[in-house]
Amino acid sequence: MVELLGAGEAAVVTRVCELLVPGSAAGRPDRYLAATLAGLSAGEEDAVHAAIGVLAGVTDARELSRLAGSAAFERFRRLAIEAGYGDHAPPGRRGPDGADVLVVGLGGAPIAADLAGRGADVLLLDVVPAPARFVSTVDEVVLAGGPGPVAAERAPAADVAKFHQSTGLLGATGPFGPEDLEPWYSRVEARLGPPDSSDRSPAVVEPGFVALGTPLRPRLSWPSIPAPGGARVRTRHGVRHVLLDTAGRRPKVTGVAYTRDGCDGELRAPVVVLAAGPLETPRILVRTGEQAGLDTPSARLAGRTLGLHPARLVYGWFPEPAGCATTACCDSHDGIAVEATVRPEPVAFAEGLVDPRDRPLWGGRLAEVVRGYPHWLGLRVLVADDNTAVADLGLGGEVVVGKRFSTAERRRLAAALEFGVAVLRAAGARDVVWSGLTAAHPQGGAPMGDDPARSVVGPDGRSHDVDGLYVGDGSVLPAVLSVPPALTVLALAAKVAGAIR
Taking only the tens place, the pLDDT of each residue in 29-61 is: 887 787 777 667 778 788 888 889 999 999 998
pLDDT at 244: 96
Q: Is the pLDDT of residue 168 over 80?
A: no
pLDDT at 239 exceeding the cut of 90: yes
pTM reported for the whole predicted model: 0.76
Q: Given its phi and psi angles, is residue 467 left (phi above 0), alpha (psi -120 to 50 degrees) or beta?
A: beta
What is the per-residue DSSP string for 344-411?
PPHHHHHHHEE-TTSSBP-HHHHHHHHHTGGGEEEEEEEE---S-BEEEE-TTS-EEEEE---HHHHH
| Backbone φ, ψ for residue 434 (5° rounding) | -155, 165
Q: What is the per-residue pLDDT for 453?
A: 92
pLDDT at residue 386 tops 80: yes
Identify the band that residue 424 occupies on the pLDDT scale cut at 50, 70 and 90.
very high
305 or 5: which carries more pLDDT confidence? 305
CA distance 494 to 497: 5
The least confident of 11-25, 208-222, 460-474 is 208-222
138 vs 257: which has the higher pLDDT: 257
User: Given a cut of 50, is residue 430 above it in pLDDT?
Assistant: yes
How far apart are alpha carbons 277 and 471 in whole angstroms? 10
Give the per-residue pLDDT at 367: 95
Name the pLDDT band for 280 (thresholds 50, 70, 90). Answer: very high
Tens digits of per-residue pLDDT, 186-226?
888 888 877 765 545 546 888 888 888 887 776 667 666 66
pLDDT attached to residue 149: 36
For 82-129, the pLDDT digits (tens) are: 766 665 555 555 556 788 999 999 889 999 999 999 989 899 998 888
Q: Which residues of 112-123 are buried (b: 16+ CB within 10 A; e: fewer)?
A: bbbbbeeebbbb
Res. 308 pLDDT band, cuts 50 70 90: confident
Q: CA separation (Å) from 378 to 181, 322, 365, 432, 451?
A: 34, 9, 18, 10, 42
Which of 149, 233, 181 is CA-nearest to residue 491? 181
pLDDT digits (tens, 9 = 90+) for 395-404: 777 888 888 8
Q: Please determine, for residue 169, whether its predicted confidence score (pLDDT) is greater than 60.
A: no
Residue pair 373/311 in contact (Cβ under 8 Å)? The answer is no
pLDDT for the residue numbered 2: 39
CA dihedral in degrees (88, 91, 95, 100; nearest 10)?
-110
The yes-or-no verdict on residue 492 having pLDDT over 80 is: yes
Per the model's pLDDT, the better-predicted residue between 477 and 154 turns out to be: 477
Q: Is the CB of residue 486 less than 8 Å from the CB of residue 150?
A: yes
Q: Output the pLDDT for position 135.
A: 66
Position 174 confidence tier, pLDDT thresholds 50, 70, 90: low
